[in-house]
A and B are shown apart, each in its own frame.
Chain A
Amino acid sequence: MLTGLVEKAAARPNLQRLGRNCTAEFVIGVNDVRHHIVIKDGAIVEVLEGPFKMRPYSFSITAPAASWAEFCKPKPAPGFNDVFAMTSYGHAALEGDSAVFLEHLRFFKDILALLREDG
């Protein structure tokens, strides 16, 4: 799911334009495995797989692997097509500093949409 995310993001100049004022680190959790997505000036510079010992991050989006698998389909079932659909129905959890997420909402949602593409 996260394979090739750095390269996929780098191939999208408009994504980097949207996030040009964003430098942050956020977490995508799949079951108990936490992946830190490191962003600098709109570019994804690293994707790091845990476990970590208290490594800081802004916010996390965590879900079971089955939920992410449905989210990643080209046309997900109702309740899985968007991060807010998943949190609304309890298929995923958004935790941490939501202000960072909201400040760059379109940027982060577009990063999540990259998960739908084959690596």
Chain B
Amino acid sequence: MTARIEPITGRYAHIEIMGETYRIYFEEAGAGIPLLCLHTAGAHSSQFRHLMCDEAVTSSYRVIAFDLPWHGKSNPPFGWQDMEYKLTADFYTGATIAFSDALELDRPVVMGCSMGGRLVVRLARLHGDKFRAAIGLEGSNRPSPWWDNSWLENDVFARGDFCAALVSGLASPHSPDEFRNETLWHYHQSGSGVFKGDMHFFRTDSQFEADGAAAEPSACKVFLMTGEYDYSCTPADTERTAKTIPGARAIIMRDMGHFPMSEHPERFREYILPVLDQIAAIDC
């Protein structure tokens, strides 16, 4: 065989989330500490493909990423054609914990990007005992609007090419064209209305700053890592959020944008490998 086959495997699991069974697609590679990855709004698990092909990661981590219902190759619920998709904080939290429990992951490290990074902040606060560490990529504790919410009523939000163009500037000009454009292709692939549905969580139902600063350190280690080119979750948003979580560490990534794992995998590993090494060294 002459083809270069990647070490990633993809499978489907039937998982109950808040009373409904979903057919969930997930990919994984490696063995060791489970590293559960959450993709961005309107995208899917392929964003983590580089980590899954990096032996420096997979030699000690089992990297797992699943497509949220409605995304990628995961199905929407039965009857989707008669409903409007709106992601809520409760469903997102429930889906993540249900997936982890169903696969019997032992206190995984949870790492999410963008809306996944926002969820990680909440998971660390409310469910820290279920995770050995939480890594929020481009994550903060509240929406930081950079476009008007009224735009959501425009039908363009149902178009993948629009979603890609909306977020294109969030990728850094220092990222390789190949990977920046692949990242945007994921937005082109998004199902009609899915990005908009994710925005319900990201713009409205994730005002976690209202939880106030935590009095105690989270049960898990918390890392918030943000690219300096990110104007959706700015470095200032991240540093402000880290101050509300005792023991949390904020890391600002130079020359990086909003999609570190997929837009600039080589640069990202310079930042993520030391964090993963630090987590692996913690006696759990």
Contacts and interface: CB of A to CB of B under 8 A. Distances in A.
Interface in B44-79: none
Interface in B130-182: 146-148, 151, 154, 156, 161-162, 164-166, 168-170, 172-174
B271 interface: no
A102 B151 contact: yes
B146 A106 contact: no
A17 interface: no
A79 B231 contact: yes
A76 B162 contact: no
B228 interface: yes
Contact of B169 (A75, A83, A98): A83
Contacts of A103: 156
Contacts of A79: 231
Interface in A47-105: 74-76, 78-79, 81-85, 87-89, 98-99, 102-103, 105
B151 A98 contact: yes
Q: Which 5 interchain pairs have the tightest Cβ spacing?
A: A82-B169, A106-B165, A105-B165, A88-B146, A88-B231
16 contacts: A75-B173, A75-B174, A76-B173, A78-B228, A82-B170, A84-B166, A84-B231, A85-B229, A87-B146, A89-B231, A98-B148, A102-B151, A102-B154, A106-B162, A106-B164, A109-B169
Given A81-B173, A98-B151, 16 more contacts: A74-B173, A75-B173, A78-B229, A78-B231, A81-B229, A82-B169, A83-B169, A84-B169, A84-B231, A85-B169, A85-B229, A87-B146, A88-B146, A102-B151, A105-B162, A105-B166
